Each structure stands twice: as C-alpha cells, then as structure tokens.
C-alpha cells in the first residue's frame, strides 16, 4: 500500500511541477503535447493521474505526520481544476464553459468532503475555529476576514459592472444538414445516390473496399502503404486519380487547409472560422463523400441559412474547378488522411 501510494505521490509531485513549469514558461509549454484528435481522452487521463497523485501525496503526508486538513484539500483540489482548465487546455475554452465546469467540480468536491458525518465535521472545523476565534492569532485572522471579504466582493461586483469588450461567443453549425440534391455546372447531383466516379478498382467499377485498402496508414505520420505510391509511374486508376487530386489540392486548397490537411495553411491564421482540419476525426471521417462534394462545390457562400455566421472564406469551388477536379480533390483528402468516407447505409 505504502509503495503504491509513494509511486502515486511521485507522479503527483512530478505532474504538478511539470504543469507549473509549463504554465510559467520555465520549460517549453509543449513538453507534454496535446495531440490533435486525442485531446479529450488525454485530458481525462491526465486528470485521473493528478487525482491519483494527490491521493498519494495526501497519504504520504499523513504517514509522515503532516496530515493536511480536509478543508484545504477540498479548496486546493477545486483551485487546481480551475487552473488546469484555464492554463492547460488548448485552444482555450471560453469563460462561460469554464464556469460551468468549475461549478460541477465545486459540487463534486462538496460531495467528497461531505460524504459522511465525520468528514463533514473535519471539513467545517477550520471555519468554526475562525468563527469562534479562541486564540489571539485566529482573532486577528477573523478581523482580517471581516474587512477583506466585503472589499473583495465589492471589488468583484465593480469589476463585473465596468464595461468591457470581450469577444462575443459565436455558435455555428459545423456540419449543416445537406440538401437532397445540388446543382453544379448545370448538372444535378442527388446526394444520396451520387458516387465519386474516381473511387474505382482496376476494372473501373466503384469499389470502396479497394480504395480503402490503398489509403495511407493510420498512426503517427499517416504514411502511404509501401505498395501504394500515387507517384509510382505505373500507378493506375484510383492511385493515379489520388495524385491528380493532390496536385489540385496543392495548387488551391493547402493555402488554408495546410500541407498536412490539418487546417494550418499559410493564410489560415487570418481567418475565423479557422479552416477545417481534415485529420480531425470529427470532420471528413464523419461525413459522406457526396456531402464533401456539396460543401466544396458551394463553399461558405453556399451555406444554408441555419449555418451562420456566414463568415467563412471557403470558396465556392464551382467557380474555380471542374466537377471532375472536385471529385479528385475529395478522393485525395480521404487518401491523405487515411479516413474512409461514411456510407449511407
């Protein structure tokens, strides 16, 4: 038990030091990186590690005869969660969301300290001590509280009432409901039944299993399968079209969506909403290929009314590309990210 707890304590200490150093900037803030796509899982894991660490620290301190009052444990735990949300999570989450998480964790901490009568007593003991003020030191503390509390609360309310200019929060529908059909260059495409004409096998038949077997490998780097190089001179069919789609992508799309299709192109930093990150499992991996075709062809200006704010700079690609080129780009995007388009069934 003791060994286990000391390991946990070690994790806790190292974790806190690492986090503090990264926040203050003593060591680079990307020492422990948040990986795209895995971030929520990673954060939950980190928090679990920290809770284990704190348990360990508290156990070790008790064992060393320096028991930490339950009252401060509760407060520190809550403060930690707040700071973690503010400084660790990137990109930053808006205050309103943080406030919600803060309230939830406050309730959780409260439930923890009041789990049974004895704990609850332990928790409120320091408060009672201050109220009773039996010794001189605590009496001074009580007067200090008496003066500081109204000042603090008054200050907070003043701060809340002074006019400020914070960015208004914008909500947007990321994947608006698609229309039943879309008309591009004079031809109507029914989204339910249309297929990418280039997702074909060597016999020239639409074949998703064939193409899925040829996309890049998932896992770090997302590299091409060794025997499926679109730049192979003899590449035929699907792979050849992937290359052609890639050529179009790097002549048109990478400026915003980035060289690695992660939404971090040259111009991306200037725009809001930021360009879609295709390597994120929440974008093209969630959608049918015809949906992408529709969004690419119509762009930001072609978004339906419910998909405001219409601030997207996504071009309506029907103005720049042929239908064939659009299909090839879509093909390439799936190939390069290693995702399979979602099917209707």
Partner 1 sequence: MKNSFSLKAGALLTTAFGIILVSGSTGGLTFAQGTLPAGFKTGALAPEPSADMIEAGKRVYFTKCVWCHGVDGAGDGPGADRLWPRPRNFNQGTFKIRHTASGELPLFDAKKPTPGQNDLFETVTHGLPGSAMPSWEGILTEEQRLQVLSFVTTQLVKDRKFTDKQSESQTVLQLGDLTPIAPTEESLKKGAELVIEKKCVECHGADGRGDGNAFNLKDDWGFSIQPANWHKCWNFRGSRQDPYNVKNIFRTFSTGVNGTPMPSFADNSTVEERWHIANWVNFLCEREADGKPLAIDPSADKPKINFVVSSGLAVGEISADPEHESWKNRARRYVAMGGQITHKPRNFVNRIDDIWVKSLYNDTHIAFMFQWDDRTKSVAEGKLPWAPTSVNVDIKEQEPKTGEEGSIASHQNNYTVYNDAIAMETAVKWKELPSPIKPRYLFGSNEQFPVDIVKWEADGSLRAFKGTGWDKDFEERLNYEENIKILYSEWKNGRWTVIVQRPMGDKKEQEYDEDTFFERGQYIPTVFFAWDGHNGDAGRKMAVSAFYYTFLEPPTPREAYIYPVVIAFGVVLLEGWVLTRRSNKRKGKAL
The CA-based dihedral angle spanning residues 16, 21, 22, 26, taken in that order and rounded to the nearest 10 degrees: -170
101's torsion region: left (phi>0), alpha (psi -120 to 50) or beta? alpha
CA distance 105 to 131: 26
Q: Check residue 157 for interaction with partner 1 (CB under 8 A).
A: yes
Q: Provide the minimum distance between the beta carbon of 28 and partner 1 in the complex, in angstroms, as a whole number.
A: 9
CA-based nearest residue to 83, from 16, 36, 160: 16
Q: Check residue 340 for interaction with partner 1 (CB under 8 A).
A: no
Segments of the chain assigned E as strands: 181-184, 187-190
Q: Can you read off the two tokens belonging to residue 316?
A: 């309506």
Q: Check residue 315 for interaction with partner 1 (CB under 8 A).
A: yes
Q: Residue 6's Cα: distance from chain center in Å?
A: 33
DSSP 200: B
Q: Check residue 215 for interaction with partner 1 (CB under 8 A).
A: no
Q: Check residue 36 for interaction with partner 1 (CB under 8 A).
A: yes
Name the segment binding partner 1 (CB under 8 A); options: 15-23, 58-66, 192-200, 305-313: 305-313
Q: Check residue 236 for interaction with partner 1 (CB under 8 A).
A: no
Q: Check residue 213 for interaction with partner 1 (CB under 8 A).
A: no
Q: Check residue 94 for interaction with partner 1 (CB under 8 A).
A: no
CA distance 341 to 75: 48
**Residue span 280-299 as binding mask against partner 1, x where in contact by CB under 8 A, dash where not:** -------------------x
HSE of 342, CA atoms in CB hemisphere, 13 A: 14
**Residue span 244-283 as binding mask against partner 1, x where in contact by CB under 8 A, dash where not:** --xxxxxxx-xxx-xxx-x-xxxxxxxxx-----------
206 or 269: whose CB is closer to partner 1?
A: 269
156 or 206: whose CB is closer to partner 1?
A: 156
Q: Check residue 314 for interaction with partner 1 (CB under 8 A).
A: yes
Name the segment binding partner 1 (CB under 8 A); options: 4-12, 105-113, 176-184, 227-235: 227-235
Q: Check residue 33 for interaction with partner 1 (CB under 8 A).
A: yes
Across 2-16, b (16+ Cβ under 10 Å) vs e yields eeebeebbebbeebe
Q: Can you read off the two tokens belonging to residue 342?
A: 């979602």
Q: Provide the minimum distance between the beta carbon of 256 and partner 1 in the complex, in angstroms, as a whole number.
A: 7
Q: Check residue 312 for interaction with partner 1 (CB under 8 A).
A: yes
């Amino acid at each position: 038990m003791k060994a286990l707890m000391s390991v946990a304590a070690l994790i806790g200490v190292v974790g806190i030091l690492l986090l503090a150093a990264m926040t203050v900037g003593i060591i680079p803030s990307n020492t422990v990186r948040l990986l795209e796509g895995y971030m929520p899982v990673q954060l939950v894991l980190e928090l679990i590690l920290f809770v284990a660490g704190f348990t360990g620290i508290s156990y070790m301190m008790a064992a060393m005869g320096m028991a930490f009052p339950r009252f401060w444990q509760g407060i520190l735990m809550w403060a930690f969660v707040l700071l973690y949300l503010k400084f660790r999570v990137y990109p930053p989450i808006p205050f309103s969301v943080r406030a919600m998480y803060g309230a939830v964790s406050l309730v959780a901490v409260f439930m923890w300290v009041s789990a049974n009568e004895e704990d609850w007593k332990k928790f409120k003991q320091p408060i009672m001590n201050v109220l009773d003020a039996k010794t001189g030191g605590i009496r001074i503390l009580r007067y200090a509280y008496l003066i500081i509390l109204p000042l603090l609360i008054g200050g907070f309310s003043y701060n809340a009432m002074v006019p400020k200019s914070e960015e208004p929060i914008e909500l947007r529908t990321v994947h608006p409901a698609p229309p039943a059909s879309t008309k591009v260059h004079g031809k109507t495409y029914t989204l339910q039944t249309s297929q990418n004409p280039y997702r074909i096998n060597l016999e020239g038949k639409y074949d998703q299993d064939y193409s899925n077997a040829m996309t890049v490998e998932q896992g770090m780097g997302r590299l091409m399968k060794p025997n499926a190089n679109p730049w192979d001179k003899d590449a035929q069919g699907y792979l050849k079209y992937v290359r052609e789609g890639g050529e179009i992508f790097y002549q048109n799309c990478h400026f915003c969506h980035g060289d690695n299709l992660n939404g971090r192109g040259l111009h991306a930093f200037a725009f809001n909403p930021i360009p879609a990150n295709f390597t994120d499992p929440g974008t093209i991996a969630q959608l049918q290929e015809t949906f992408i075709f529709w969004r690419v062809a119509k762009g930001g200006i072609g978004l339906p009314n419910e998909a405001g704010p219409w601030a997207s700079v996504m071009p309506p690609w029907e103005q720049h590309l042929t239908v064939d080129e659009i299909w090839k780009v879509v093909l390439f995007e799936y190939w390069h990210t290693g995702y399979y388009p979602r099917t209707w069934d």
